[in-house]
């Protein structure tokens, strides 16, 4: 069984690897770690404590902590969405810790609300988001992406925001097209 | 859907909080309201049904915002996204 201490060790180790710090307020940090533990218990993976998960791995993959948005968020705002991970200047109190905007794209956020096939009308500009109910774990298209800078290869829906190996930006990722030909 | 009510002496405003039970910012918001003796209702969205998720999203969209947590709705009209103390103070007259 997962323990809060285990979750803490994992977060501390990850923070150290990436040069981040965990939230300095012990109570706030404890709440987040317990939230991660609860999500791991109920969903089977530690999805973000501050976002609504579907409980379906394929739909929640991008918000499994550390989420896809952590690195660009820490780079831009100084903390991740939950404020679990942060830069040194915020940890040391030199920069205030405030809530940050949600970077997760709307089409992914609506997945948590797509379980029912509601027909309630919404304003026209929202129609693109209403297309989501048809989206299920089965319809998510994963591709092979490679980093043109270092060659790192990953099989997922979107390329990472930042290459975990060489820190190249998302723009440096390209898809790998595989042309299978029969021989003999 | 079930709304949880937290009693408070300051009940001049109708306050509804959409929250996630595991979210530290949501807990901070609830604590801030309680510390200021504000009466409020909250819904922990992750503990509601799939149907309720959709209803909650529609409620927020109707008020002009896509869901994110916490969302605080004051007097059925002022919508505050995230734990923003200055906005809460202004809306609640704290």
CATH of the domain at B85: 3.40.30.10
Closest by Cα among A183, A181, A176, A130 to A155: A176
Q: Would you call B24 and A49 a contact, using CB atoms and an 8 Å cutoff?
A: yes
For chain A, 184 residues long, give each residue's pLDDT as a single digit of tens: 899 999 999 999 999 999 999 999 999 999 999 999 999 999 999 999 999 999 999 999 999 999 999 999 999 999 999 999 999 999 999 999 999 999 999 989 988 887 544 444 444 444 444 444 445 666 788 999 999 999 999 999 999 999 989 999 999 999 998 887 776 5
Domain edges within chain A: 4-115, 141-184
A4-115 domain in CATH 3.40.50.2300?
A: no
- Rounded to a whole number of angstroms, the distance from the CA of B92 to the nearest CA of chain A is 20
pTM over 0.90: no
Give tens-digit pLDDT for B72-94.
999 998 999 999 999 999 999 98
- Rounded to a whole number of angstroms, the distance from the CA of B9 to the nearest CA of chain A is 26
Q: What is the number of domains present in chain B?
A: 1
Q: Would you call A102 and B68 a contact, using CB atoms and an 8 Å cutoff?
A: yes
How far is CA A11 from each of CA A26, A116, B85, rounded to the nearest angstrom?
Answer: 14, 34, 28
Domain of residue B72, residue span: 4-92
Closest by Cα among A51, A100, A107, A109 to A79: A100
May I ask the CATH class of domain A141-184?
A: mainly beta
């Amino acid at each position: 069984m997962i323990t809060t201490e285990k979750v803490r060790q994992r977060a501390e180790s990850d923070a150290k690897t990436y040069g981040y710090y965990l939230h300095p307020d012990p109570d706030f940090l404890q709440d987040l770690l317990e939230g991660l533990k609860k999500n791991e218990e109920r969903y089977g993976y530690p999805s973000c404590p501050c976002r609504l998960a579907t409980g379906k791995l394929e739909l929640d993959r991008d918000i499994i902590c550390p989420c896809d948005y952590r690195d660009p968020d820490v780079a831009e705002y100084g903390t991740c969405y939950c404020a679990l991970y942060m830069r040194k200047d915020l940890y040391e109190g030199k920069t205030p810790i405030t809530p940050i905007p949600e970077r997760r794209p709307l089409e992914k956020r609506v997945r948590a609300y797509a379980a029912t096939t509601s027909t309630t009308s919404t304003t026209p500009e929202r129609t693109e988001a209403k297309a989501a109910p048809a989206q299920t774990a089965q319809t998510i298209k994963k591709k092979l992406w490679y980093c043109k800078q270092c060659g790192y290869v990953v099989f997922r829906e979107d390329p990472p925001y930042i290459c975990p190996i060489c820190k190249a930006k998302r723009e440096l990722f390209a898809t790998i097209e595989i042309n299978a030909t029969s021989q003999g | 859907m079930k709304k949880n009510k937290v009693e408070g002496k300051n009940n001049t405003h109708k306050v509804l909080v959409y929250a996630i039970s595991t979210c530290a910012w949501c807990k901070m918001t609830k604590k801030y309201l309680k510390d200021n003796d504000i009466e409020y209702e909250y819904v922990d969205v992750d503990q509601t049904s799939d149907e309720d998720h959709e209803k909650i999203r529609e409620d927020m969209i109707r008020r002009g915002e896509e869901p994110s947590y916490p969302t605080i709705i004051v007097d059925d009209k002022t919508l505050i996204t995230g734990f923003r103390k200055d906005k809460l103070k202004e809306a609640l007259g704290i």
